[in-house]
Amino acid sequence: MSKIGVIGSGTWGTALAVLLTGNGHEVELWSAVPAEVEALTATRRHPNLGDTPIPEKIRVTGDLEQAMKDKELLVLSVPSVYVRETAHRMAPFLKEGQVITNVAKGIEDTTLKNLSEIIEEELPVARVTVLSGPSHAEEVSRGLPTTCVAGAHRRQDAELVQNLFMSPVFRVYTSPDMLGIELGGALKNVIALAAGIADGLGCGDNTKAALITRGIAEITRLGTAMGGSPETFSGLTGIGDLIVTCASMHSRNRRAGILIGKGYTMDEAMKEVKMVVEGVYSARAARALSKKYQVSMPIVEQVNEVLFDGKPAKDALYDLMLRDRRAENALLEWKE
């Protein structure tokens, strides 16, 4: 049994706390909101996780120092826009060499840094790892079979995360490609917005398949230009996460996209979804990175124009379809 602190009591943090408790670990679940601590303690239910009970063994706390004290692992599970602020708050209580696993997905739009880079800036004495993959909290909390990837700079840290999370219903692989894992997790949210917009416009399965396929091509082009491994983008944290996020109604990015396709503004869609829509924050960063690395990302570009420039969604789809003719893969050679 290990002592684990889960920093962030949203749906994902709560689902992982339930999973880790089921694995026999001693878990404390931290929330920054006193009313949420009180509600979770009293009801032993998260409002967005249906009837899944929060085991009595899980201690819900608003005391960050207590949540971090003597823990073998700290799971950082706050929305990407709060990662830097939360890591900064953790600094006074972190012990040198403590392992932190970030499970949020996003890119900081002001610095274009991955979340692990932000954590390492704010908490330089930590051993930072990531856990990502096609894993909706609603399904993990119900014990439905799920697979993820643990990434780290050092093999032993990735294997620590693997060992703590692994269960008969939660399979964990390891990888040294932290950059690729994080880019796949962040950028797929932008493509999921596009998939949702297409759904909102009344498009069909053909359109969805095209957006997923061309979306992973864009993600791979940028990811490899930045130093990620092509194999990562063809794996669980690339195409796997992209498929589940584009296809499922559990995906807040897809749900927000559907509303935008139906004519909602970005702000109206985010209010309707009632949870943080990570793709909105990652879209600007993705466009900036595409320009920095001189990588063509037409889907990302059109999503940005719809979100921030007031472009009608149907016009964005039209412009994607009527781009210049080209080969699907420029690396393939003709025999004649």
Q: Active-site residue numbers?
A: 188
Check residue 78 and report its DSSP letter: S
Query: Is the C-alpha dihedral spanning 101, 241, 170, 52 positive or negative?
Result: positive
Distance, in Å, from the CA atom of 18 to the CA atom of 56, rounded to the nearest integer, reads 10
Q: How many angstroms separate the CA atoms of 213 and 322, rounded?
A: 17
* Residue 6 amino acid letter: V
Q: Please give the span between the terminal C-alpha atoms of the chain, in angstroms, as a whole number.
A: 64
Structure tokens that stand for 164 in this block = 């703590």
Q: Across the beta sheet with 3-7, what order do the strands follow? A: 59-61, 26-30, 3-7, 73-76, 99-102, 127-132, 146-152, 170-175
In Å, what is the CA distance from 173 to each residue of 85, 144, 151, 217, 253? 29, 17, 9, 23, 25
C-alpha distance from residue 273 to each of 195, 213, 267, 305, 309 (Å):
16, 26, 10, 21, 21
Helix (H) or strand (E) holding 61: strand 59-61
Q: What are phi and psi of 23, to 5 degrees?
A: -80, 0
Rg (CA), the chain: 20
